[in-house]
């Protein structure tokens, strides 16, 4: 059997299982989406948001890219963020990285990877910023793991710097921001950073919306 056919057969089996439990499942699912969470995760195939959180369809609005980045020039990410925050009005935005991330590992080398160098530069800047802290750690694994964590932290802070998040904080007093790292060796998620609405301030990146709102 061709590999892709297995996915289609699995889909049919999954749909049948859902209907066996609730014959109105897909009618209800198709009406609307009201997720509480926006998940910004890594594109790695081993870190599916719904699977590792045991969530159901409709619970999580998902955006994934290489190394779970929040880049201020990424219109794809920003479009997802704006829709999730302003239209769906999610209450939480989660950046979830994972240990053993290929993108983070690549950024720690001096190898030329071609086009992806442009993307990896964002991680390299986190690496350079925290170089002394990272290399004070005793092993390569410790250093690698720490950069994964610091990268997640940086991306959460990048969320806080956006006008999308700051306007929502001003208007709705949400979403809450979270930075997580998934450990695929144990299957558990580690909390790295949490930012409550209006808790974060910056003399450079905080915007004044009083006149606009």
Which residue numbers are catalytic?
A: 42, 44, 46, 98, 101
Q: Residue 88 is encoded by which pair of tokens?
A: 């769906």
Give the side-chain half-sphere CA count within 13 A for 101. 32
In the 8-state DSSP scheme, what is residue 139? S
Contact 60, 146 (CB under 8 A): no
Strands 37-42 and 60-65: parallel
Concatenate the DSSP letters of all residues of 164-211 into one string. Answer: HHHHHHHHH---EEEEEEEETTTTEEEEEEEE-TTT---TTT----TT
Q: Residue 130 is encoded by which pair of tokens?
A: 């925290």
For the chain, give the number of residues. Answer: 213
CA distances from 35 to 55, 80, 92 (A): 11, 13, 9
Closest CA to 133 of 119, 120, 151: 151
């Amino acid at each position: 059997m061709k590999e892709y056919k297995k996915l289609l057969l699995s889909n049919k089996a999954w749909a049948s299982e859902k209907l066996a439990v609730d014959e109105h499942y897909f009618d209800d699912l198709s009406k609307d989406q009201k997720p509480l969470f926006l998940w910004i995760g890594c594109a790695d195939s081993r870190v599916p948001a719904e699977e590792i959180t045991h969530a159901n369809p409709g619970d999580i609005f998902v955006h994934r890219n290489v190394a779970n980045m929040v880049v201020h020039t990424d219109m794809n990410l920003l479009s997802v963020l704006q829709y999730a925050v302003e239209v769906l009005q999610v209450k939480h935005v989660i950046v979830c990285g994972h240990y053993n991330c290929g993108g983070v590992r690549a950024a720690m080398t001096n190898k030329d990877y071609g086009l992806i160098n442009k993307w990896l530069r964002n991680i390299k800047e986190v690496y350079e910023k925290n170089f002394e802290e990272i290399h004070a750690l005793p092993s390569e694994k410790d250093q690698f793991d720490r950069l994964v964590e610091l990268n997640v932290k940086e991306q959460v802070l990048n969320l806080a710097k956006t006008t999308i998040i700051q306007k929502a904080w001003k208007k709705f007093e949400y979403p809450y921001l979270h930075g997580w790292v998934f450990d695929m060796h144990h299957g558990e998620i580690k909390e790295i950073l949490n930012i409550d609405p209006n808790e974060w301030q910056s003399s450079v990146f905080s915007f004044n919306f009083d006149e606009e709102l």
